[in-house]
Structure 1
Amino acid sequence: MQIPSVYIHIPFCQQICHYCDFTKFFYNEKLADDYLSALEKEIKSYIPEKKIAPRTIFVGGGTPTALSKEQLKKLLIIIDRYHDIAACSEYTFEANPGDLDEEKVKLLKSFGVNRISLGVQVFDDMMLEKIGRLHKVKDVYTNIDRLLNAGLTNISIDLIYALPGQTVDQFEQTVDEALRFDLPHYSSYSLQIEPKTVFYQRYKKGKLSKPPEESEASMYELLQKKMMAKGKKQYEISNFAEPGFESKHNLTYWNNEYYFGFGAGAHGYLPGKRIVNIRPLPAYIKQAEENGRPVLHEEPISRREQIEEELFLGLRKTEGVELNNFEAKYGENFEQVYGGVLPYLKERQLIVVADNKIALTEKGRLLGNEVFQEFLLDEKDV
């Protein structure tokens, strides 16, 4: 079976951000060398013979561009060795502003990378320092200029809102500055205080708080309004793009399609199972070197779970879930499975069912988790 997408995790960072709960470690040259060797062993164990031709490749982290130029080139060679890059319509690298000197930009371009996702977060130097970021606002301008000059024009900016101490006016300034670049894609997420982060420890000690919920809602509504005014269509709860520049890789997730996940702590989704890799680097490297399968555990996915995830993920998209696709995929009439919850959600104006689709309303997007829990099924329902 053709697996449409590949995710590759590079867990190294020059500094650990206070909010981040992804698998990440301080950059160490020797450890990074060992990691790349182990990563290739893992990839080869799944792709042992000829190259595969995925629709999308996404290299995330951590910070892939925290690698040295030599290591970045080695990584690009490894990816090229097992994947038909010419057949890949979207090849994305995550990067931090300030990491991309001219040589790294040219290197990425020369190996076929055609999309860059920049972790900007906020256009405010004081706020960047408070959340543990190393870059400054000026670095965003420098790096975007370098990318554009190299012909890498498919650029996405990531922003975070509802940061500690952030006001609606401050977030508006960040959105306005981000939109001045007039890039084809923007993502913006509200801060989540996750366990095992610096912010979580401060929150537990009463030394950190988020803005009130009404301010967070105002920030989200402001974001939607300003993106729409600049021609960036909202196609998912947190993502906005010019037509044709939606993230094909992330749509793999939201369409509940299969993907490989390579690297420490990476998750993969293959027919009938989800695979979760070992997170600690020494253990990941040891297991990958021994047998190429540094798997922490495999989770079988039942039919019920597949259907639930189809709704949880699909409803994140503005266009929602196509009922014909649902029925073709699962052999079930949608209303027979979920007819019991639809009147309640419609009455609360959280969903709309029209044109053979079910989608969240504006109110439903603000209360997404409440909607999603209504689509949990009993085993007897399927």
Structure 2
Amino acid sequence: MAIATISAPRALYIHIPFCTNKCHYCDFTSYVLKGQPVDEYLDALEREMERTTAELPPVQIDTVFVGGGTPTVLTPPQMKRFLADVKRHFPLADDVEFTMEANPGTTDPEKLAAMFEGGVNRISFGVQSFDNDLLERIGRIHNVDDVYKSLENARAAGFTNLSIDLMFGLPGQTTATLEDSVNKALALKLPHYSLYSLKVEENTLFHKLYQRDELPLPSEDEEFNMYIHLMDRLKQAGYTHYEISNFALPGYESRHNSTYWRNEPYYGLGAGAHGYAGRVRHINVKGVQPFIDYTKTKLPRLEVNPVSEQEAMEDFMMVGLRLLEGVKASSFARQFDGMTLESKFGPIIDKLLKDGLLERLEWPGDHGYKLTDKGVLFGNDVFGSFIGLDENSDS
């Protein structure tokens, strides 16, 4: 496909791969900060921005998400320089949602001021738990006091759009300790909460412990009950369950993450970052020094993979049904040259409707499907129903 025919993404993801330490469960592209060439990495990021925008010129960026790692390990001068680079290379919408991930304890007033002045208007704090013993057990370096202080500092700096992550299914965690964390989280009256279950990934300390049978995880039934408790508590507190793992007050849903869930294109910059445009996905090289070296002569691509129409349709259903509003037939037809959901996935949809996992929605001139309450609890089974179908099959 000629580059000129590709619609420029309106979402931008940038990866800052540095952390103060490596959490026991983390398999993201991240490296302990000490001794890392941070300024050289920022130089390389700017080169990638320049090459990226030359190859696929942006029109308008509606959402920016800076993830990691822990982007807030950057010093205030580094933060100012980085945010200025973003603004120089990408035209940001007046109402851009500009999110930065942060670790409690890494956001002092000077750094928050640099973030606010540089255009960041949403912060997602990786809190994970309000239990200090549990935080230590999973390798977090912050404590509960750091959480309160960081949120206090953020509000004092002018931030109002704040989110925190909580985790469940952690080793040694009980429903009672989770309840306590949820109560303390809700007492903060934040506009957004993300709630994730632990996944034991390869190349992590937890995976090694798991293989040695030294990781005391809750049973599947306990983890299931934790999820139900979380859903109930957040809904009771007035939050909309808008995505499998995310809850928000009206108007505070993550616009950037919704780009992924709607299978829309996005720029992806930085070591290990993924991007998607023109039905082509790329993955960048992961090491810090290799990333720096690549950008001196070319874009730092590790892999560039065309996405077939079949795979794109499967992705549309798999990620779209994560949103509790569901998928619309009109959106599917727009992405896939007028094809209908039923002509492609009719038998699968019928079975999921019969099993009580999906329900049909109707609007004037349109229709769609969404997870039922039962479907939310068995989401992975629903998503998996749409994956790996025969390319030549209509069902």
Instruction: Calculate the TM-score normalised by the size of structure 2.
Output: 0.94
What is the CA–CA distance in structure 2 between the aligned matches of 1:170 and 1:111, rounded to whole Å? Answer: 38
Q: CA deviation at 1:227?
A: 0.6
Deviation of the 1:68 alpha carbon: 1.8
Does structure 2 conserve the Cα–Cα contact (< 8 Å) formed by 1:54 and 1:88? Answer: no
> Greater CA deviation, 97-106 or 77-86?
77-86
Q: What is the CA distance between 1:3 and its match in structure 2?
A: 1.0
Which of residues 123, 135, 141 is equivalent to 1:128? 135
Count residues in correspondence: 381
Amino acid at match of 1:192: K
Q: Distance in 2 between matches of 1:198 and 1:17?
A: 8
Structure 1 stretches of at least 4 aligned residues deviating more than 4 Å after TM superposition? 49-52
2:272 corresponding residue in structure 1? 265
Offset of 1:373 from its aligned partner? 2.1
Mapped pair 1:31 → 2:37: yes
Q: Give me the whole-angstrom Cα distance separating, in 1, the residues matched to 2:84 and 2:221.
A: 48
- In structure 2, what is the equivalent of residue 309 of structure 1? 315
Report how far residue 51 of structure 1 moved: 6.8
- C-alpha contact (below 8 Å) 1:86/1:112 kept by paired residues: no
Q: Deviations over 1:237-268 (max 9, x none)?
A: 00000011000000000000000000000000
Give the secondary-structure state (helix, strand or coil) at the position aligned to 1:146.
helix
Map 1:144-223 onto structure 2 (within 5 A): 144-223=151-230
Shift of 1:209: 3.2
After TM superposition, the structure 1 = structure 2 runs for residues 51-130 of structure 1, keeping only pairs within 5 Å, are 52-130=59-137
Is 2:50 the counterpart of 1:44? Answer: yes
Structure-2 separation of matches of 1:88 and 1:195: 39
Tell me which residue corresponds to 1:365: 376
Whole-Å Cα distance in 2 between the matches of residues 126 and 203 of structure 1? Answer: 20
- Which segment is superposed worse, 354-363 or 293-302? 354-363
CA shift for structure 1 position 226? 0.8
Report the Cα offset of residue 86 of structure 1.
Answer: 5.0
Post-superposition shift, 1:77? 1.7
Contact 1:319 1:357 in 2 (8 A): no
Can you list the C-alpha shifts for 1:278-307, whole angstroms capped at 9, x where unaligned?
Answer: 01112111111222x010010100000110
Distance 1:29 1:207 in 2: 32
In the alignment, which residue of structure 1 is the partner of 2:262?
Answer: 255
Q: Look up the match of 2:4.
A: none
Give the AA of the match of 2:207.
Y
Compared CA separation, residues 86 and 112, structure 1 to 2 (3 A):
farther
How far apart are the structure 1 equivalents of 2:373 and 2:289?
A: 46
Q: Which deviates the most, 265-274 or 74-83?
A: 74-83
In the TM superposition, what is the alpha-carbon distance from 1:339 to its structure 2 partner? 1.3
Pairwise CA distance, 1:342:
2.3
Q: What SS is found at the alignment partner of 1:20?
A: coil
- Tell me which amino acid in the other structure corresponds to 1:322: K
| SS at 2:347 equivalent | coil
Q: Which amino acid aligns with 1:360?
A: L
Q: Aligned partners of 2:347, 2:354: CA distance in 1, in Å? A: 13
Structure 2 letter corresponding to 1:183? L
CA, structure 1 residues 198+227, in 2 after alignment: closer, same or farther (shift >3 Å)? Answer: same
Distance in 2 of aligned mates of 1:326 and 1:51: 24
Native 8 Å contact 1:254 1:316 kept in 2: yes
2:9, 2:58 within 8 Å by CA — same for their partners in 1?
no
> Which segment is superposed worse, 143-152 or 184-193?
143-152
- In 1, the alpha carbon distance for the partners of 2:187 and 2:376 equals 26
Question: Greater shift after overlay, 228-237 or 362-371?
Answer: 362-371
Q: 1:75 to 1:14 in 2, by over 3 A?
A: same
Secondary structure of residue in 1 paired with 2:140: coil
Following superposition, the deviation at residue 335 of structure 1 comes to 1.2
Instruction: Indicate the residue corresponding to 1:240 in structure 2.
Output: 247
Q: In the aligned structure 1, how far is the partner of 2:390 from the partner of 2:383?
A: 14
Between the aligned partners of 2:132 and 2:361, the Cα distance in structure 1 is 45
Alignment match of 2:28 (pick from 19, 22, 26): 22
Asked if 1:287 corresponds to 2:299, the answer is no
Return the match for 1:138 from 133, 145, 166: 145
- Kindly report the root-mean-square deviation, in angstroms, between the aligned alpha carbons of the 2 structures: 1.4
> Alignment partner of 1:380: what SS?
coil
Paired AA for residue 34 in structure 2: N
Does structure 1 conserve the Cα–Cα contact (< 8 Å) formed by 2:20 and 2:34?
no
Aligned-pair identity in percent equals: 44
Give distance in 2, aligned partners of 1:347 and 1:214. Answer: 25
Question: Conserved in 2, the CA contact under 8 Å of 1:52 and 1:82?
Answer: no
Unaligned runs of 5+ in 1: none
Assess if the C-alpha contact under 8 Å between 2:178 and 2:226 holds in 1.
yes
Q: Determine the C-alpha separation between the residues in 1 that align with 2:324 and 2:314.
A: 18
1:151 partner SS:
coil
Q: Which runs of 5+ in 2 are unaligned?
A: 1-6
- Report the residue type matching 1:55 in the other structure: D
Judging changes above 3 Å, is the alpha-carbon distance between structure 1 residues 237 and 45 closer, same or farther for their aligned structure 2 residues?
same
Aligned partners of 2:40, 2:212: CA distance in 1, in Å? Answer: 38
Equivalent position amino acid for 1:267 in 2:
H
Which residue identity lines up with residue 280 of structure 1 in the other structure? G
CA drift of 1:117 comes to 0.4
Aligned residue in 1 for 2:234: 227
Aligned equivalent of 1:296: 302
Shift of 1:85: 3.5
Shift of 1:52: 4.7
